[in-house]
Amino acid sequence: MKALARITKVLGAKGLYITAAASLAVMAGAGIIAYNKAIGSVNESFELNIPESSLTQQAEAKQEDIKKPERDDDSSVLEITPDESSSEAEKAEANHDKVYNTQPNIMPVNGEIINPFSGGELVKSETLGVWKTHDGIDIKADKGTAVKSMNKGEVTKVWEDTLWGYCVTIDHGNGVIGHYYSLTSAVAVAEGDEVNSGDVIGYVGESAVVENTEGAHLHFGIKQNGEWIDPITYINPLGIK
């Protein structure tokens, strides 16, 4: 302190301020050094020395508490079951594997074919005077002649059409649908009936307005998997007479 007083006398008032500042700097430096030592001690005392394997075991132990969804060997296969609200078209498609036509195919009516199947080609309608396809065959017969089922099957629809008159459709299995048009009103079957080959389903009439110039006849068509086909070729594929 005596040394400090001597320096103060030499430097005067300004020297006093300089000396005080120097003293504060020395004290601050000592404080920083002491603070760093204290922090180092605290870090050493709180240092965690946990093996990595222990942390891994703890993580796995937590995962074991979580229930995982069970899975079998077939879980990768997506199974779709039919919907109960399927459309009528889908139901009809599902019925295509029915095997009804195990009985002999027969012509519904024996008579002259006055208009053959056009196979998609345009032909002139004598009644309408226009060119159109003829998607079935017209079989001439006396009015009231019995019309028979081509083969075993299920009657799917019975109705009166504004153009084709009294009509019946029969599901003959394997995607084959028989169309029997221009009947009389005395239809002999109802929707849902099961019929065999040769069973009477109705009678030849003149109810088809679009073909009324042809007189009494049966308009007979066949659809297979949704496409019109030639009934003659289907019933008698070998052309045996």
| Residues 155, 157, 162, 166, Cα dihedral to 10° | 20
The predicted structure's pLDDT at residue 79: 30
- The torsion angles phi and psi of 77, rounded to 5 degrees, stand at -95, 120
Two tokens at 132? 């159109």
Contact 199, 148 (CB under 8 A): yes
Contact 114, 140 (CB under 8 A): yes
What CATH number labels 95-235? 2.70.70.10
Contact 170, 155 (CB under 8 A): yes
The predicted structure's pLDDT at residue 18: 46
Spans of all domains in the chain? 2-60, 95-235
Sequence-distant (6+) residues with CB within 8 A of 200 are 146, 147, 148, 149, 188
Q: What is the mean pLDDT of each run of 10 residues along the chain (241 residues)?
A: 48 47 48 49 44 46 44 35 37 52 86 94 89 95 97 97 97 96 97 97 96 95 96 83 62
56-64 long-range contacts, CB within 8 A, separation 24+: none
With CA atoms as reference, report the closest residue to 22 among 197, 14, 179.
Answer: 14
Question: Model pTM?
Answer: 0.60
With CA atoms as reference, report the closest residue to 210 among 120, 115, 146, 119.
Answer: 115
Q: Where are the alpha helices (DSSP H) in 104-162?
A: none
The predicted structure's pLDDT at residue 223: 97
- How far apart CA 219 and CA 241 sit, in angstroms, is 21
